[in-house]
Structure 1
Amino acid sequence: MADTTKKQLTPEMLECMKSMRVFSLATADKKGVPNVVPVGMLFPGEDGNIWIIDNFFCKTLKNLEENPIASFYLWSPEYKAGCWQVKGKVKVYDSGADYEKAVAIAHSRMETAPAKHLVKMCIQCVYNVAPGPDAGKKVL
């Protein structure tokens, strides 16, 4: 990912994101071995990053520490206007004001959520992954 400029999701992408309940979050370890997990707490943060709350990460957290890059896709059967792959660099937090906000959000959604870490993703690129002639093309 050579482009290091922080990107923002388009209104269309954000609308799709709102219709999703579970996201597939992809990471890889330092050797490039992939890992994909379902994540229910992934959303746009107030700071322009994507916020991901770690409730049950195991290999995912280890991968993010070794290789701080992640990806997820936006697609929902309720939202048929597009499908995108989002990639970015991440930082993991276990303290601070934003972490405390993330814990409160997690507990408002699921009272027993462990909310072990806040993972912030700085979006670096977005690709169209909808079937058709534009599949695989970079859109942001």
Structure 2
Amino acid sequence: MELLKHWKEIVSVVLAGQKSSIHCSVASVDSNGLPNVTPIGTVFLRDNATGYYFDTFTSQLAKNIETNPNICLMAVNTKSSYWFKSLLKGRFATPPGVRLYGTVGELREATAAEKQTIEIRIKPTRWMKGSQLIWSDFTHVRDIQFTHFRPVQYPRMMAHLWND
């Protein structure tokens, strides 16, 4: 499947996954070949099959990409009403999830625009103590260049989706 052809739909699926789960899962592999999955709530996608994430609380991921920059980002819509409706009808109205494959770049300082995007995302929770403890020091990001994708598949319920 062509990444750029489906990019708008991919972004929509990732946003639904982030909204329902509050994070994306990012898989990496360490220097010994052992896999690691990191939940990241600060992933943002751009219009050109790239994205970035704030590199905070990602020590194992950061270590893994030093030796192997390849990652798989997965987002799944976990909203219970979405799944209930889909199971009831025997059909997904929208794709339930997607895996994005790509490479992660070097750590760099976040731009003012990138800092603003995270401020907008965390604003509703800013008043909570936990929010202040977790989401108050976002300064550095890593870019992601996506190369291809693979939908989360339930073929009998989604034959009408991802048509090429």
After superposition, the Cα gap between the structure-2 partners of 1:101 and 1:47, relative to the gap in structure 1 and judged at 3 Å, is: farther
Counterpart amino acid of residue 27 in structure 1: S
Note the aligned Cα RMSD (angstroms): 2.8
Deviation at 1:15, TM superposition (A): 1.4
Deviates more, 1:49-58 or 1:13-22: 13-22
Q: TM-score, normalised by structure 2?
A: 0.65
Q: Which residue of 2 aligns with 1:11?
A: 8
Structure richer in helix, relative to its length? 2
After superposition, the Cα gap between the structure-2 partners of 1:46 and 1:101, relative to the gap in structure 1 and judged at 3 Å, is: farther
Q: TM-score, normalised by structure 1?
A: 0.74
The alignment covers a number of residue pairs equal to 129
Identity of aligned residues (%): 19
Deviation at 1:75, TM superposition (A): 1.8
Unaligned runs of 5+ in 1: 1-5
Counterpart amino acid of residue 49 in structure 1: T
- Is the 1:27–1:34 Cα contact (8 Å) retained in structure 2? yes
Tell me how far apart the structure 2 counterparts of residues 57 and 101 of structure 1 sit (CA, whole Å).
22
Alignment pair present for 1:70 and 2:67 = no
After superposition, the Cα gap between the structure-2 partners of 1:10 and 1:109, relative to the gap in structure 1 and judged at 3 Å, is: closer
Question: Counterparts in 2 of 1:115-134, with a 5 A limit?
Answer: 115-132=138-155
Counterpart amino acid of residue 102 in structure 1: E
Q: Which residue of 2 aligns with 1:105?
A: 117
Is the radius of gyration larger for structure 1 or structure 2? 2
Structure richer in strand, relative to its length? 1
